[in-house]
C-alpha cells in the first residue's frame, strides 16, 4: 500500500458511470413500473452500490480505508440503456476514483442480477471514470523555475563547527525537487542582529528565504523575533498548517514557533524548526501549494 502519511487532507470528489443495456422496452417498463419480481431495481441497486463503495478497500488490496462522507447514485433511462452515475466525496489524503468506479460496477451488477429472470439479454457497458476533483489535478503547482531561494541555518553549534548541518541540506534538496534555483546553504549563529542583517541583504536577490533553527524556547532561540519586524504581512494560515501538520505526527510540535510571511510584497520568508524531521514535515505541510502566493503577489486572481 502506498505511503500517504506525508499528504494533507483535501476535498476529493469522483464520479463514475456504468451503462446497463436491456434487450426490450418491456424490461424498461418493468423497471419503471416496479414490477420486477425481485423488487425495486433502482432502490435495491442503490443500496448495493453504497455497500460497494464502503467495501472497496476490503476487496482491492492497494486501496486505503477512508471516511466516505457522501455517496450519490443516479439513474437516467436512454432508450434501452440505463445510465448509472455514482458520485463519492471525502476529505482525505487520497482520491476516491476507485470507490466511485467500484460503486458503479456493483450497482450495474445488482441490476443485472435482478433483471436476468425477465431479460436474458442484459449487458453491462462503459464502466469508467467521468471526472475527479481534488489533489494535484485540481490545485496545479505554479511554475517556480524563476524563483531563487536562499537557505539559512541558524545555529551556534554548527556555526562554531561543533555539529553537522542536515536541515539546511534537506531544505535545498526539497526546493530543488520543485525546480527552484537554490544557492548553497549559509550558516549563521543564533544572533538576532546577524539573522536580520542576512535576511535584509538576501531579500534583494532572492524571492524565497528559508531559515531553519532558532524557533524553540531557549534563550538563544531568537529567529522569530528577528524575522517578525521585517515582514509586511504574516501568512498565519501557513504557520497554523505547519503546526497542525507537525502536531498530528508528534506531541512537541506545539512548542515550535515557525513564522511565514512576506517582505517587500515579493519575497517569501519561512522560519522553520531546526530538527531535520521537523523541517521536512514543515515543508511537506505547505509546499507546493505555498508557491501559489507568488501568483497572488503579482496580482493574479486565486
Going from the C-alpha of 287 to that of each of 146, 174, 211, 290, 297, the distances in angstroms are 16, 9, 15, 5, 17
| pTM of the full structure | 0.78
Q: What is the overall mean pLDDT for the chain?
A: 94
Say whether 264 is catalytic: no
Block means of pLDDT (10 residues each) for the chain, length 302 residues?
89 97 97 97 98 96 96 98 98 96 98 97 96 79 84 96 95 94 95 97 95 94 96 96 93 93 94 95 93 80 58
Enter the C-alpha cell of residue 69. 462522507
pLDDT value at position 287?
Answer: 92
The confidence score (pLDDT) of residue 300 equals: 64
pLDDT of 280 reads: 95
- pLDDT score of 172: 96
Q: What local confidence, expressed as pLDDT, does residue 302 receive?
A: 54
- Position 265 scores a pLDDT of 87
CATH 3.40.350.10 fits 10-137, yes or no: no
Strand 10-21 to 267-272 pairing: unpaired
Question: Grid coordinates in use for 189?
Answer: 549563529
| Domain 148-297 in CATH 3.40.980.10 | yes
The reported pLDDT for the residue numbered 281 is 95
Show me where the domains of the chain are located. Answer: 10-137, 148-297
Locate 130 and state its grid cell: 467521468
Among 65, 60, 282, 24, CA closest to 174:
282
Of these residues, 62, 113, 165, 264, which one is catalytic? 113
The candidate with the shortest Cα–Cα distance to 213, out of 154, 164, 150, is: 154
SS (H, E, C) the chain: CCCCCCCCCEEEEEEEEEEEECCCHHHHHHHHCCCCCCCCHHHHHHHHHHHHHHCHHHHCCCCCCCCCCEEEEEEEEECCEEEEEEEEEEEECCCCHHHHHHHHHHHHHHHHHHHCCCCCCCEEEEEEEEEEECHHHCCCCCCCCCCEEEEEEECHHHHCCCCCCCHHHHHHHHHHHCCCEECCCEEECCCHHHHHHHHHHHCCCCCEEEEECCCCCCCCCCHHHHHHHHCCEECHHHHHHHHHHHHCCCHHHHHCCCEEEEECCCEEEEEECCCHHHHHHHHHHHCCHHHHHHHHHCCCCC
Amino acid at each position: 500500500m502506498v505511503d500517504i502519511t506525508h499528504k494533507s487532507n483535501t476535498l476529493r470528489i469522483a464520479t463514475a458511470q456504468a451503462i446497463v443495456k436491456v434487450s426490450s422496452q418491456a424490461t424498461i417498463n418493468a423497471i419503471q413500473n416496479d414490477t420486477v419480481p425481485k423488487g425495486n431495481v433502482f432502490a435495491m441497486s442503490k443500496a448495493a452500490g453504497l455497500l460497494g463503495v464502503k467495501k472497496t478497500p476490503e476487496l482491492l488490496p492497494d486501496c486505503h480505508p477512508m471516511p466516505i462522507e457522501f455517496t450519490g447514485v443516479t439513474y437516467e433511462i436512454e432508450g434501452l440503456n440505463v445510465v448509472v452515475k455514482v458520485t463519492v466525496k471525502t476529505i482525505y489524503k487520497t482520491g476516491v476514483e476507485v470507490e466511485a468506479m467500484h460503486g458503479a460496477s456493483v450497482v450495474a451488477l445488482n441490476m443485472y442480477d435482478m433483471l436476468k429472470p425477465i431479460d436474458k439479454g442484459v449487458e453491462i457497458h462503459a464502466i469508467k471514470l467521468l471526472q475527479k476533483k481534488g489533489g494535484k489535478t485540481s490545485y496545479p503547482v505554479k511554475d517556480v523555475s524563476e524563483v531563487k531561494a536562499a537557505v539559512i541555518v541558524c545555529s551556534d553549534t554548527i556555526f562554531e563547527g561543533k555539529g553537522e548541518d542536515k536541515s539546511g541540506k534537506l531544505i535545498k534538496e526539497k526546493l530543488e525537487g520543485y525546480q527552484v534555483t537554490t544557492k548553497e546553504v549559509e550558516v549563521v549563529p543564533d544572533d538576532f542582529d546577524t539573522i536580520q542583517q542576512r535576511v535584509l541583504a538576501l531579500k534583494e536577490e532572492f524571492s524565497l528565504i528559508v531559515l531553519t533553527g532558532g524557533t524553540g524556547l531557549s534563550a538563544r532561540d531568537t529567529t522569530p523575533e528577528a524575522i517578525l519586524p521585517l515582514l509586511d504581512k504574516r501568512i498565519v494560515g501557513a504557520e497554523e498548517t505547519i503546526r497542525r501538520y507537525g502536531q498530528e505526527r508528534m506531541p512537541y510540535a506545539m512548542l515550535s514557533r515557525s513564522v511565514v510571511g512576506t517582505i517587500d510584497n515579493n519575497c517569501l520568508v519561512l522560519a522553520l524548526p531546526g530538527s531535520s524531521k521537523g523541517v521536512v514535515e514543515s515543508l511537506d505541510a505547505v509546499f507546493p501549494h505555498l508557491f501559489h502566493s507568488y501568483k497572488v503577489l503579482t496580482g493574479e486572481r486565486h
